[in-house]
Homo-oligomer: A and B are copies of this chain.
């Protein structure tokens, strides 16, 4: 059905009854196809503005390999997040040219026609060393979406001058992604230092009354600096997508 729909649209373009812009708009809603256990949506990249991503957690190695294979065959590249060491190893063998980041648990194969780099720097800031898996997931994902990513690490607010020392860099950013667990206080301090969009990522780093990241999540949602927005605990990938949504609007 979808194939026919697409043909119909293109035919209308050929006949001059549909403008190319409208055809793209129409196409960006509809097409996808079925892969048995997963509907791979090859146009999602177009629709959402980024390459196809496979969320590795909760999927078997076999399922991931099959999905990745379908994507790679089209030259679209892929980004696998939450890739277990086993999955990393399987994909390393099949796609030796892929980039693997063990801390971020990501496997990335750039598409044959790479994304044009976006203008505007996205700073990924971390409070502590233990937050690196999440901040690296954000950084690698941002890179895959064509963003210019800068990392600023280990600037937690218990030594407030560590972050103040980086304020010029932070103020020059197009977007700041703040990754912090425990008290999540870094988001509040940075939210007050910069005018640009700030995306806060609570992490599950901590123990006891951090309740798996709940403490940082609630603190960030109650951030005393207005206009800071929040994504799910440990969701470095989501923060990168949010940054890409912002930067793309700028670049258009």
Contact A209 B184 (CB under 8 A): no
The bracket for how many chain A residues form the interface is 35 or more
A34: chain B residues at CB < 8 Å are 153-154
> Contacting A208 at CB < 8 Å: which of B174, B185, B221?
B221
Q: Which chain B residue has the least Cβ–Cβ distance from A235? A: B208
CA distance A167 to B160 in the complex (A): 12
Q: CB of A231 within 8 A of chain B?
A: yes
> Contacting A232 at CB < 8 Å: which of B41, B44, B192, B222?
B222
Contact with B along A219-238 (1 / 0, CB 8 A): 11111111111111111011
CA distance A241 to B57 in the complex (A): 29
CA distance A170 to B156 in the complex (A): 20
A16: chain B residues at CB < 8 Å are none
Contact B230 A197 (CB under 8 A): no
A127: chain B residues at CB < 8 Å are 224
Copies of this chain assembled into the complex:
8
A240: chain B residues at CB < 8 Å are 227
A188: chain B residues at CB < 8 Å are 157-158, 183, 185
Q: Which chain B residue has the least Cβ–Cβ distance from A175? A: B249
From 14 to 35 in chain A, residues with beta carbon under 8 angstroms from any chain B beta carbon are 25, 29-30, 32, 34
Q: CB of A59 within 8 A of chain B?
A: yes
A39: chain B residues at CB < 8 Å are 153-155, 159, 162
Contact A154 B37 (CB under 8 A): yes
Q: Which of A47-55, A83-91, A93-101, A107-115 lies at the interface with chain B?
A: A47-55
Can you list 9 A-B contacts (CB < 8 A)? Answer: A32-B162, A55-B130, A183-B187, A184-B219, A207-B233, A215-B221, A217-B221, A227-B245, A228-B231
